[in-house]
Structure 1
Amino acid sequence: DKLPQHVAIIMDGNGRWAKRRGLTRIVGHQKGIKSIKDVVKTSRELGIKWLTLYAFSEENWKRPQYEIKALMNLLTRYLTTELKEMLNNGIRLLSIGQTEKLPPEVQRILWQTIEKTAHNKEMNLTLALSYGGRQEIVWAVKNMLKDMEKAT
């Protein structure tokens, strides 16, 4: 009763963490994935029904191309390797954001994983990808205008 039903995490600081330790930013992102696996597992065990991970913001597209490519590779590897875990533990994958901006192969694997986990009911894991606060405001205003049109 005391635990939240929805937890949201902004995945930020992995690159800075690695740099402070003399490691590459990519190593920091890899460590971040390991942390996320632990967070997902613990959240499910605690009975948290909704977990949202802000994994790749609109601002991340401004990073060097090699880093973007590495992040996309980490995402596809995570989705591929964790699919069995999601299926075995009733985790349903969802996504928010402008996923059409993601590379085609990443989109394909993302949507396959979403489809394969669609009937899971234990926990909802939402990945915010190519997502920004500004875009959220635009979506909110558009939805509000649609609602106003329906009301008139």
Structure 2
Amino acid sequence: MGFRQDLLPIQTKFMRELHINHIIVRFGPVYGKNSNGLWDKRTSAMMQQLGEGKEMVRTSNLYKSFIHVEDLAAALHELVDSEYTGTIHLGPSEKESYYSFHWKMAGMLGLNQELIKDNQLAPDEARKLGIPLDTSLDTTIARRMLTRSFRQTSR
């Protein structure tokens, strides 16, 4: 989106104060195929690694709200025509860890899920590195308001 992460709180506050009619959209990691039929980088890397029979390790206690690119596009299209103002979080109802996301995607793509191993990031280490363990989003408002449903990775 072109914003520096460290300035987001300031920019968000400025946007809210300057523009009464605004929508601030928040969403997690995006996955799916682009208009050329190519998978996102995360899924492509997984497909290559597992396709070569290599194990991969993903963190099982680092949670996000993964959103499919088609669901994101449909939700944004619907929001543009809505009367909604404010901040809205887009995505499915269930959060996913990086491990569970990759494990489910591998299964959906017919890849060997057993090659995906999990690890845990210790809370002390996460704090030291400045990594929040759970940045999943409460998407209740979007799921109630929008006609588009958000797919879970398991579908």
Q: Which has the higher helix share?
A: 1
Same fold (TM over 0.5): no
- TM norm structure 1: 0.30
